[in-house]
Amino acid sequence: MRFYSDTPPFDLTYDDVFLMPNRSAVASRFDVDLSTSDGTGATMPVVVANMTAVAGRRMAETMARRGGLVVLPQDVDTAAVGDIVAWVKSRHPVWDTPLVLTPGDAVADAMNLLPKRAHGAVVIVDEEARPVGVVDEAACAGVDRFTRLSEVADPEVLTMPISATPREVFDRLHGRTAGIALGVDEQGRLAGVLTGVSALRAELYRPALDARGRLRVAAAVGVNGDVSGKAQALLDSEVDTLVVDTAHGHQEKMISALKAVRAVVDAAGRSAQQLGDGGVAVVAGNVVTAEGVRDLVEAGADVVKVGVGPGAMCTTRMMTGVGRPQFSAVLECARAARELGARVWADGGVRHPRDVALALAAGASSVMVGSWFAGTYESPGDLLRDEQGQPYKESFGMASKRAVTARTRGDSAFDRARKALFEEGISTSRMKLNPAAPSVEDLLDAICSGVRSACTYTGATTLEEFHAKAMIGIQSASGFAEGAPLPRGW
Ligand SMILES: NC(=O)C1=CN([C@@H]2O[C@H](COP(=O)(O)OP(=O)(O)OC[C@H]3O[C@@H](n4cnc5c(N)ncnc54)[C@H](OP(=O)(O)O)[C@@H]3O)[C@@H](O)[C@H]2O)C=CC1
Ligand SMILES: Nc1nc2c(ncn2[C@@H]2O[C@H](COP(=O)(O)O)[C@@H](O)[C@H]2O)c(=O)[nH]1
Ligand SMILES: [K+]
């Protein structure tokens, strides 16, 4: 990556910079390969942050199916992580997991379930798990909440063998009003669902799969407690990527924790000998300097997580003055990591597809997103409604009082009170669910379209080429404002 003009004497963040178009020989945006180069096996450069309000099993399943990764938070106990990983790995790599009820269940049960997944339908099954009807939101409208589903379900279900290709499913669904295909096994039992748009996505995206063809998932480990034991347990649970995570990653405690994790991975013979060979990548952070990167790579990190203070739930910069504008942090850290054969993830502060493109241009192999994805069907929280009836989900920072209180549950009252003093995150925030883009998959579509297009403007067909060719300009606040759309005129 090069700057178009002289590098300024101050640090920059995403809003301060823009990409210059280059002469391009790339004929189509579909010619761009979004695979990452960091050994995680991700086929799209998006990682979901290890935040309790964002990263759970539905998010993990959905992201991996489209090629991204979810990092399960370190606050989830090891046994529960094991259950989640086993569940994610038992999911079909193409067909989505159905929401299932029986004819005797009530409309209220269906209404509670519907916002859990983007496909907009609950499948009604008989005692042999064979589909007998479909219930959507329209079927539940205007009827008593205790009505039995047998009375409102549409019995006209479209079943297809689970072996059908997404293209076959898309073609069968095209033009039909009932927008969902039910995948069934040889005994006619329900095994998955696909909508037209998810069949289309299945043709456009490549799932992130482990060596046995199962969906990939990552998990975090903190720097305190029995780090080796936790890392070993995560490996035993078949976690595919380990993330050693703490606020201040450039500290001795991190270095010793990281060495311990490295030793566990090496002893298990699971280390990635070279980027992309299918071993377990070890990620560590967060840092914002080249020095920090070098120390963490020396201690065993394959990937270093970059970002202090850019996160939407984060109050670190206001509390401490510490941090660094994220574009410059990513640029310097990516350069240092690449010199050592390692990579960085740009963690935090991503709110638009352009931010993803700019982080990749600066040399990140992937971009970590938290809050932006909190307001989606796939995040773990319940769907709530504000005073105007608009849907939202609650989000909170992992260094907030709320998260610290949960994390220190087992400590003495005195220790908990002491820890609670160091609050560096927001305990409650409302992340609106956009009715036009309620699923994380809608956001992934926007991100991937934006990044594919950025690559063709730059003349690149891979993310490595994009980084090599990117030319970055620096803009004023009015330059940034000019780029924003004006949907209501002026
Ligand atoms: N990217 C970012 O800007 C930030 C991210 N976070 C996220 O919040 C989560 C919790 O992280 P964390 O607060 O590190 O909790 P951890 O439970 O990982 O504990 C951090 C450890 O480091 C010690 N420590 C020393 N200096 C600091 C410091 N300046 N800030 C924090 N800990 C320090 C703490 O000791 P003691 O408590 O005794 O001081 C504690 O032992 C993580 O997921 C992290 O990524 C949190 C803040 C900033
Ligand atoms: N300083 C804090 N940083 C936090 C906290 N919780 C999470 N984070 C960091 O933010 C990113 C995600 O950024 P986002 O803009 O996409 O939400 C996450 O990966 C952490 O590094 C917190 O409480 N305080
Ligand atoms: K912030």
Looking at the predicted complex, does its ipTM rise above 0.90?
yes
The band of 193, judged by pLDDT with boundaries at 50, 70 and 90, is very high
Neighbours of ion ligand 3 (CB under 5 A): 314
Order the strands of the 180-184 sheet from edge to edge. 158-161, 180-184, 190-195
Q: Which of 50, 314, 396, 447 has the most ligand 2 atoms within 8 A of CB, as the residue to mutate?
A: 314
- Region(s) of the chain under CATH 3.10.580.10: 99-204
What's the whole-model pTM score? Answer: 0.95
341 burial (CB, 10 Å; 0-12 / 13-18 / 19+) is exposed
Atom of ligand 2 nearest to the CA of 286: 21
pLDDT above 90 coverage of the chain, percent: 87
The verdict on the CB of residue 48 being under 6 Å from ligand 2 is no
Residue 489 has pLDDT above 80, yes or no: no
To test the pocket of ligand 2, the residue of 398, 400, 402, 422 to mutate (highest count of ligand atoms within 8 Å of its CB) is: 398
Task: State residue 6's pLDDT score.
Answer: 86
Ligand in closest contact with the CA of 311: 2
- CATH 3.20.20.70 boundaries in the chain: 2-93+208-378+436-480
Atom 1 in ligand 1: which residue has the minimum CA distance? Answer: 308
Q: Reduced to 3 states, what is the DSSP secondary structure of residue 13?
A: coil
Helix (H, G, I), strand (E, B) or coil at 28: coil
**What digits encode the pLDDT tens for the residues 275-315?**
556 689 999 999 999 999 999 999 999 999 999 999 999 99
pLDDT grade, residue 164 (50/70/90)?
Answer: very high
pLDDT class of 196 with cuts at 50, 70, 90:
very high
Average pLDDT over residues 392-412: 91
Atom 2 in ligand 2: residue holding the nearest Cα: 314
Among protein residues, the one whose CA lies closest to atom 24 of ligand 1? 248
Pocket mutation for ligand 2, best pick of 245, 313, 315, 352 (most atoms within 8 Å of C-beta): 313
Establish whether residue 416 lines the binding site of ligand 1, counting it when its CB lies within 6 angstroms of any ligand atom: no
Q: Looking at domain 99-204, which CATH architecture does it have?
A: Roll (3.10)
Residue range 426-441, pLDDT digits in tens: 998 999 999 899 999 9
Mean pLDDT on 20-34 = 95
Phi, psi of 35 (to 5 degrees): -60, 150
Q: At 410, is the pLDDT very low, low, confident or very high (cuts 50, 70, 90)?
A: confident
pLDDT of residue 471: 97
Question: Counting beta carbons within 10 angstroms of the beta carbon of residue 142, is it exposed (0 to 12), middle (13 to 18) or buried (19 or more)?
Answer: exposed
| DSSP, res 371 | G
Residue numbers annotated as active site: 314
Q: What is the pLDDT of residue 330?
A: 98
- What whole-number distance in Å separates Cα of residue 274 and Cα of residue 268? 16
Atom of ligand 2 nearest to the CA of 49: 19
- Radius of gyration over alpha carbons of the chain, in Å? 23
Q: Is the dihedral of CA 133, 137, 138, 144 positive or negative?
A: positive
Question: Which atom of ligand 1 lies at the shortest distance from residue 347's CA?
Answer: 1
Q: Report the pLDDT value the prediction gives residue 272, as an integer from 0 to 100.
A: 76
Residue 126: count other Cβ atoms within 10 Å of its Cβ: 14
What does the pLDDT average to over 37-54? 95
Task: State the pLDDT at residue 454.
Answer: 98
Q: What is the mean pLDDT of the chain?
A: 94
pLDDT digits (tens, 9 = 90+) for 68-107: 999 999 999 999 999 999 999 999 999 999 999 999 999 9
Minimum mean pLDDT range among 231-240, 314-323, 404-413? 404-413
User: pLDDT-derived band of residue 192, with 50, 70 and 90 as boundaries?
Assistant: very high
- What pLDDT is stored for residue 178 in this prediction? 64
Side-chain half-sphere CA neighbours of 408 within 13 A: 20
172 CA from centroid of ligand 3 (Å)? 46
| pLDDT score for 135 | 95
Superfamily of 2-93+208-378+436-480 according to CATH: Aldolase class I (3.20.20.70)
